[in-house]
Amino acid sequence: MRLEINDTLAELRQQLRGFVTARLHTVAAEIDRTGQVPDAAWDLMRDQGLLGMLMPAQYGGMDADLPTYCIAQEELGRSHRVFTLILDYTSGLCPTGILKLGTEAQRERWLPGLASGRLRASFGLTEPDAGSDAAAMKTRATKAPGGWVLNGRKHWISGANKADVIMLMAVTDPEKRARGGITAFLLEKGTPGFEVTRVDTTIGSEAIELAELTFTDCFLPDDAVLGEVGKGFAAAMGSLTHGRMGVSAACIGAADRLLEMSIEHAKNRTTFGKPLSERQAIQWMLADSAVELNACRAFMYEVLRQHAAGAELGQATAQVKLMCSEMVGRVADRAVQIHGGAGLVRGGLPVERFYRDIRHYRVGEGASEIQRMLIARELLA
Ligand SMILES: Cc1cc2nc3c(=O)[nH]c(=O)nc-3n(C[C@H](O)[C@H](O)[C@H](O)COP(=O)(O)OP(=O)(O)OC[C@H]3O[C@@H](n4cnc5c(N)ncnc54)[C@H](O)[C@@H]3O)c2cc1C
């Protein structure tokens, strides 16, 4: 059974599948080997018209809608998490924030560079004492003549060590915090008082870097404020609502590839004189993965269809993200089991890398427990 949003996007999928398989899988293998993202990854995606795809044409984007973006995330997710992040850096949390809330001067300043991949963006919310409870952030922006003085620390900010601009949230009114006391700023690379003080990697790909950012009397001019003073928490949550759909699509893409690899392996691997695919224990794992994958896909596509028809995304995105990120974990676990040792050995089949890479989907951009909290809050309202 093949689920699609519409015929146009089914065609786009075919086209992207060909591109990803022919051009990106080899780059994915290089990323695994070297732990670095070669410029070729950006160049190939730019040539394919993927960079900045959600941005309007006047800023160099493709004017694509969210369903189109999600199909692209799915197909890229079939190859490597890094490609889905590149799409996010050029169309995701920070660029979308600038597009929705920025002044025309801010849009002109940043969006053409971000959409083309010439400039890099990041999204800085998390702090050592403020992860799920983002409103507990301590980074403080204090008003000064002509601007704001920033002090504090962010951590685990994806790609911020290489970013030209960071959409950064800071407390501007400690009394109000999430209710009007947090403001979004556009922080530019090289601003005095701003330093990248540490770079972490996770159990996922070495090429995915998380930066710690330290601010010491870092002066940001008034025109670095993104949107209205005090509306930064809502801005961040709005970007995340949108972002959850992209993350979910990447989970679906990864699960799709893992299932495909599992089927292939089950057919080709013989034990006790028969292919694994003839064993009921293996068939049931494949069947469970297919059912869960299709259920997630159908749900996500329905939310996208309703959104394209004008519905607000709302907390449906929390349900989609929860389902998809938990599903890909189970599909990856079965894929490793079906592959046996071949699913665990480093540098061999991509299965073990997928298994590691997909783990963070249940934590990043709002952990599963937080998605459940958002869903229950709406149910109980
Ligand atoms: C790969 C990766 C990339 C990231 N990139 C970025 C980025 O670009 N920008 C950014 O700002 N941040 C980023 N983060 C940070 C990420 O958003 C946080 O890790 C996430 O929000 C969870 O926060 P925490 O890790 O502090 O966990 P905690 O908030 O300490 O939570 C720990 C555990 O407790 C659970 N928990 C927390 N509160 C409750 C509750 N009330 N009820 C029940 N359970 C609860 C959580 O779900 C989690 O399982 C990234 C993280 C990772 C791993």
**For 112-127, what is each residue's pLDDT tens digit?**
999 999 999 999 999 9
Q: What is the pLDDT of residue 15?
A: 98
Q: Would you say residue 242 has pLDDT above 90? A: no
Quick: pLDDT tens for 56-94: 999 999 999 999 999 999 999 999 999 999 999 999 999
Test site for ligand 1: of 82, 86, 127, 132, most ligand atoms within 8 A of the Cβ: 132
What letter does residue 178 receive in the DSSP assignment? T
The domain covering 7-116 belongs, at the CATH homologous superfamily level, to: Acyl-CoA dehydrogenase/oxidase, N-terminal domain (1.10.540.10)
Domain 121-230 has CATH 1.10.10.60: no
Check if 156 has its Cβ closer than 6 Å to any atom of ligand 1.
yes
Quick: pLDDT tens for 209-234: 999 999 999 999 999 999 999 999 99
Q: Which of 75, 209, 352, 365 is catalytic?
A: 365
Test site for ligand 1: of 133, 156, 239, most ligand atoms within 8 A of the Cβ: 156
**Which residues contact residue 339 at a Cβ distance below 8 angstroms, ignoring those fewer than 6 apart?**
261, 262, 265, 349, 351
Check if 210 has its Cβ closer than 6 Å to any atom of ligand 1.
yes
Query: Where do we find the tokens 């459940």?
Result: 372
Residue 98 half-sphere exposure, CB side, CA atoms within 13 Å? Answer: 34
Q: Is 365 a catalytic residue?
A: yes
Q: Ligand 1, atom 32: nearest CA belongs to which residue?
A: 132
What pTM was estimated for this model as a whole? 0.97
Share of the chain above pLDDT 70, in %: 100
- Ramachandran sector of residue 272 (left: φ over 0; alpha: ψ -120 to 50; beta: rest): left
| CATH topology for the 234-380 domain | Butyryl-CoA Dehydrogenase, subunit A; domain 3 (1.20.140)
Check if 155 has its Cβ closer than 6 Å to any atom of ligand 1.
no
The domain segmentation of the chain, as residue ranges, is 7-116, 121-230, 234-380
Closest atom of ligand 1 relative to the 370 alpha carbon: 47
Quick: pLDDT tens for 303-329: 999 999 999 888 899 999 999 999 999
Check if 124 has its Cβ closer than 6 Å to any atom of ligand 1.
yes
